[in-house]
Amino acid sequence: MNLWTTEALRLATGATPSRPIVADGVSIDTRTLRPGDLFVALVSDSGDGHEHVAAALARGASGALVHRPVEGLPENAPLLTVADTLEGLWALGAYGRDRFGGRVVAITGSVGKTSTKEMLRCVLATQGPTHAAEASYNNHWGVPLTLARLPREAAFCVVEIGMNHPGEIAPLARLARPHVAVITTIGTAHLGHMGSIEAIADEKATILWGLEPGGVAVLPEAPMRLRQALPPGARLVTFGCGSAADAQLTAAIGGIDGSEVGARLSGRDIRFHLGAPGRHMAMNAVAALAAAQALGADPVLGAQALADFQAVGGRGARRSILGGQAMLLDESYNASPLAVRAALALLRLAQGKRRIAVLGDMLELGEHAPSEHAGLAPDVEASADLLFACGPQMLHLYGAVPTSRRGAYAADADALAAIVVRAVAPGDAVLVKGSLGSRMKRVVEALEQRSA
């Protein structure tokens, strides 16, 4: 069954292709495009996709969604011309969602969105074909792209929704129209844009505005503020450590290799092994199981699949370096105060001669940045023997830890990477974390290159 036919494309966008187009997928990037994909020529700060239409067609794209003429193409090139390609992608996403007969779950939160999404992918896949967002496709183009790629025959769809500024979540939630909506946590990520923790909670709660009638909201047992946004007729399921939570984390015991988790869902006790370590990961798993149960899936069967779950690259992925003589904990994709504390707690579980924290700036904290960075000092002291740091804000943390814990400070990730590569030795356990804009992936790459 083709994902997109000529007629479906016409009905979705209101435009008629220049010639018949039958697509098996949707792509916005020629580097990952597969033969048979429809290429969508998006325009953004990073470039104009119209400049890559010829390359997309040469690589086997079945057609291209464009909003302006493209030079150098054959006269019979398969093009679908719309007023705006981003709006066209949204139209494809809306049509893909409208024709879907399965169950949809949407996830947001200050931290844990992608890990919870991947856990749900594991859990739901035991019970039916499951479609989920790739990587962190959670923004104004990622959510419609996920829905545009949604196979009609799938039983479940898992959508991740993120935000940086006020007003971003609600339109995406209304596009996804989930049967179940999950909010993982409320923390100080994006505090600089949002102004207060209350404003962050209010924005995250707008995911509930997209719930289908009679839908289910899976919310942390605190803060209570989130419940004020519950739509009429929606059902509430809470998760947490308290006995009053509908889905309760009762145990999380283990080390860096994973955890033995105990949970109680609606009075039913479940025990399972989680392949990813850390109490925060165990809580994500409980939220995922609560969401799966709300979707009508069997949480006991699904929990067994979590033994094979591994942390996502950049979000806790663990691997050996220095020929297997040292351990790298890659948390380089993003950072917030809550996430850094969780990662440092994970580092504390690691066995090694030295525990080394390599931290870059946490961004989007505004005027709160100096205090939020310096406030991590007790967590560093409890978890790390040495701190290596970079970025203007991390200087506040570097100055707040004892001199005995100071490994080195550098202005940016490239400069710090060279220092860390020389400093890491066999037997070390190394955590690398920072906001995406801090480019801490450079440190990870440098350590991997040294290992190779």
Residue 188 above 80 pLDDT? no
Residue 190 above 90 pLDDT? no
pLDDT of res. 133? 83
Which whole number is the average pLDDT over 216-235?
Answer: 91
Task: Give span(s): CATH 3.90.190.20, the chain.
Answer: 317-451
pLDDT of res. 192? 66
The sign one gets for the Cα dihedral 222, 208, 183, 260 is positive
End-to-end CA distance of the chain: 43
pLDDT of res. 387? 98
pLDDT of res. 135? 77
The Cα–Cα gap between 9 and 66 comes to 13
Q: How many CB atoms lie within 10 A of CB 266?
A: 11
In this prediction, residue 189 has a pLDDT band, given cuts at 50, 70 and 90, of low
The Cα–Cα gap between 45 and 22 comes to 30
Considering only residues 81 and 449, tell me which one the structure prediction assigns the higher pLDDT.
81
Q: How many CB atoms lie within 10 A of CB 2?
A: 14
| CATH class of segment(s) 6-85 | alpha beta
Which residues have C-beta within 8 Å of that of residue 60, sequence separation ≥ 6?
33, 34, 35, 36, 37
Share of the chain above pLDDT 90, in %: 78
Q: Tell me the residue type at 259.
A: S
Task: Give span(s): CATH 3.40.1390.10, the chain.
Answer: 6-85
Distance from chain centroid for Cα 366:
23
Task: Give span(s): CATH 3.40.1190.10, the chain.
Answer: 100-308
Per-residue model confidence as pLDDT tens digits over 333-379: 888 898 899 899 999 988 878 999 999 999 988 888 999 999 999 99
Phi, psi of 217 (to 5 degrees): -105, 120
pLDDT of res. 20? 96
Per-residue model confidence as pLDDT tens digits over 279-325: 999 999 999 999 999 999 999 999 999 999 987 776 677 888 988 89
Give me the architecture of the 100-308 domain, per CATH.
3-Layer(aba) Sandwich (3.40)
**What superfamily in CATH does domain 317-451 come from?**
Mur ligase, C-terminal domain (3.90.190.20)
Per-residue model confidence as pLDDT tens digits over 267-284: 899 999 999 888 999 999
In this prediction, residue 194 has a pLDDT band, given cuts at 50, 70 and 90, of low
pLDDT of res. 129? 97
Mean pLDDT of the chain: 93
Q: Which residues face 247 on adjacent strands? A: 239, 265
In this prediction, residue 388 has a pLDDT band, given cuts at 50, 70 and 90, of very high
Per-residue model confidence as pLDDT tens digits over 25-42: 999 999 999 999 999 999
